[in-house]
Amino acid sequence: MSTKKLLLRFAKPYPGWIILTIVLGFSGALFNGVSTTLIVPVVLKIVGQQVDLSNAPSILKAMMAPFDKIPEDYRMVVMAGAIVLTIALKNFASYVSTLTSSSLARRLTSDIREAGLQLLLQIDIDYYAKMKVGDLINRLGGETSRAASAIGNAIKLVVLVITILVFVGLLLSISWQLTLAATFLLSLVTLVNQYSIARSKKFGKLLSEMSKVYSITMLETLSGIRLVKVMGNEEKEYERIKKLISDREKADFDSQMNSEAIAPISEVMGITALLLIVFLSKTLLTGQISSLSTVMLTYLLVLLRVLPLISQLNTLRSSFANTASSVDTVAEFLRLDDKPFMGNGTVSYSKLEKGIHFNRISFAYPGHEKLVLKDIDLFLPRGTTLALVGSSGAGKSTVADLLPRFYDPISGSIDIDGTDLREFNSTSLRKAMGIVSQDTFLFNDSVRNNIAYGKSEATEEEIITATKRANAYEFISKLPQGLDTMIGDRGVMLSGGQRQRLAIARALLQNPEILILDEATSALDTVSERLVQAAIDDLSRDRTTLVIAHRLSTVQKAHQIAVLDQGRVVEVGTHEELLQKGGYYSRLYSMQFSDRAEESNKRQENLIRISYEIRTRLNSMMGVLRLLLDDMADNAEERLELIEESYKSAFKIFNIIEVFDDIVKLQKNWQPAVVGDANCSVVTRTQTFAHISDEFRTHLNPMLTSLRSLADNYIETPEEQNQSISEAYKSAVHLLNQLEDFEDSIKK
């Protein structure tokens, strides 16, 4: 698609603006030509020179005729005023023309950006699987800006061509012979500049490609910054991107150097052409007038006004050549015929009455022949849970992607109450669905706005209720600004479990009728998994739920479990039924069950490490407090440093205790399926943890307050200071004894 076609596509809604721009451009050019033509004869008359227009071109006579009827005493003043008036009108028209053309260019540019944004939001998700996000950002940003500059230049070109045509008309009316000669000579200027214009096109294509590579590389590097740091590749990535920046800047400088050479070359050659025309005028105009002065000076003045316009024309041509590749890129980006768009139905989704039927569906990803799903036939009744399990690559997540119509099956259909998904309006259908996946996405925004993303009108009470049900309220309340805390890019300021709980709170607030859980706990540690699973159990209660799970322990309560293998359903039943069959599910369950002992050992090791960390901190703090009690500090400054060190140790212990709070709450709500003495042992251990957690918190809170007051010099008298230090020391000793009880409970 050329610049012309791009303009025609987006200029259709603005015919009035286009006509106004052309009319103002023509008016400005006309007033410019008239004022330029009048200057020489009027100035000659004002200075008292004889102006012989008897053999002058008719246009000069016509312009001067109105002044002959004015009395001699006022003629000079009126003539001078006429020149000032025409110049003022020319500048006014040019000023308004610039504003209208700039407004039109901005509107067209805005329309192109909006069209690109709308395209990206409406296009099928398969398009994103094939495109790099950095390339899309570059197209919508840098490439669109360069293409927009071509549109602005096109509008300038319209006004410029109109102005040049007006001046050429004046030159022809003064002397068509000289104009033909001038046209020939100035054409040589254009031909000489053609080399620079060709180079501009080459540089423009090079810059476009370099910008694309730079955008892709930067986005990928920043997205994978954790991997870069883990591998210690900061210097390597710096050098790689530094080279890209250097190469692009060099190409940009070469492009600018090439473009900037056009104007001076045009000026030198234009002046040379002008001098040649002066020599020619002696021969061509000698027979028409007795004196060359008036006509020749007028012609040269008009021609001098044309020369900068010719230079601007060449500069615009160079700019067009430079941005041609961007125009092509944007035009290709905005094409609709080569991109996947999913047809949208007309039926507005209202409510699920019976259930969802995966009716003998098969599916292969676009551009691939291999079937990922083969003749899947499952029914999910309203208000029940269907779990999909199987090895990696079995097709579980693909089934989940088909339900919200990210893709359509190539055969068969997915029916809701007997109606094909393709007949529903996609927006109304997806609003009835909540999706919580392993890769939770959060915006770089506040906790509040992330939770309320699907329901912006939610009240404070509704948001808090959702966070409590998602087991997220406690950690949110401890954040610096609570719900208004900014969580960083993709929620980087939160842990994996916290991000998942926010996603669940978002789904709870949305209150979806159909819920899709795609391995929502597979990447979490044991504590986070249990907190998230407890929230998921609450979220999925009384909803129609499709669960994709890797850990079979999370789907044992599902109403149906479908086992997938290589895109086919090989078993369907409840947890107990499938175990009794002794088939694929039973083998999967046995393999995972054998890993539980190893997981238990790992948890044991983690608890031992936590105990060791607390003991180390307590011993260090007690040693420092003992020094303070024995007045072993050399001076007040050293004493203050010892108090600060004690405070830091206590604060770190306090942070570690936060883990125990989570463990205690989990074990209260998530007891293992054991019976008899084993169950009593678990309950006793849970009660011990709860008691230890309460004891540590009870003693640490006043200890932290006391040590902070000492560090900030709020306790002034030595007696009160020693008493506070002594109480802190006694609390530390008590906590050390409690820690021994904790270590004993770990060993049981």
User: Of all helices (H) and strands (E), which one includes residue 96?
Assistant: helix 72-122
Residue 279 banded pLDDT, cuts 50, 70, 90: low
Give the three-class secondary structure for 569.
Answer: strand
Please give the model's pTM, rounded to 2 decimal places: 0.56
Closest CA relative to residue 709, chosen from 640, 655, 626, 634: 640
pLDDT tens sequence across 673-732: 433 344 455 556 667 767 777 777 788 888 888 887 887 777 768 788 888 888 888 888
Closest CA relative to residue 127, chosen from 365, 340, 367, 407: 340
Q: Residue 271: its pLDDT value, please? A: 67
User: Of all helices (H) and strands (E), which one includes residue 727?
Assistant: helix 718-747
Residue 672 banded pLDDT, cuts 50, 70, 90: very low
- Average pLDDT for residues 564-581, to the nearest whole number? 87
Dihedral sign of CA atoms 725, 730, 731, 733 in order? positive
Distance CA 730, CA 742 (A): 19
User: Of all helices (H) and strands (E), which one includes residue 70?
Assistant: none
Q: Residue 23: its pLDDT value, please? A: 81
Q: Residue 676: its pLDDT value, please? A: 38
**Residues 458 and 452 sit within 8 Å (Cβ to Cβ):** yes
Q: Residue 377: its pLDDT value, please? A: 92
Higher pLDDT, 406 or 144: 406
- Average pLDDT for residues 490-505, to the nearest whole number? 77
pLDDT tens sequence across 124-161: 777 776 777 677 777 777 777 777 777 777 777 777 88
Tell me the backbone φ, ψ of residue 133, rounded to 5 degrees: -60, -40
**Residues 483 and 448 sit within 8 Å (Cβ to Cβ):** yes
- pLDDT for residue 8 is more than 70: no
DSSP calls for 376-394 = EEEEEETT-EEEEEESTTS
Q: Residue 202: its pLDDT value, please? A: 74
Mean residue pLDDT of the chain comes to 76
Q: Residue 512: its pLDDT value, please? A: 85
What are the structural domains, with CATH classification, of the chain? Answer: 3-334 (1.20.1560.10), 384-407+435-588 (3.40.50.300), 596-747 (1.20.120)
- pLDDT for residue 305 is more than 80: no
pLDDT tens sequence across 633-664: 777 778 888 888 888 888 788 777 766 666 55
DSSP state of 482: G
Residue 415 banded pLDDT, cuts 50, 70, 90: very high
- pLDDT for residue 204 is more than 50: yes
**Residues 244 and 214 sit within 8 Å (Cβ to Cβ):** yes
Closest CA relative to residue 306, chosen from 32, 84, 24: 32
Return the half-sphere exposure (C-beta side, CA atoms, 13 A cut-off) of residue 278: 11
- pLDDT for residue 745 is more than 70: no
Q: Residue 606: its pLDDT value, please? A: 65
Q: Residue 435: its pLDDT value, please? A: 83
Angle at which helix 293-334 crosses helix 176-223, to 10 degrees, equals 30
- Average pLDDT for residues 288-303, to the nearest whole number? 63
Dihedral sign of CA atoms 650, 656, 661, 664 in order? negative
- pLDDT for residue 357 is more than 90: yes
Give the three-class secondary structure for 712.
Answer: coil
Question: Percent of the chain at pLDDT above 70?
Answer: 77
**Type of residue found at 626:** R
- pLDDT for residue 739 is more than 70: yes
pLDDT tens sequence across 62-93: 777 777 777 777 777 887 788 888 888 888 88
Question: Percent of the chain at pLDDT above 90?
Answer: 3
- pLDDT for residue 291 is more than 50: no
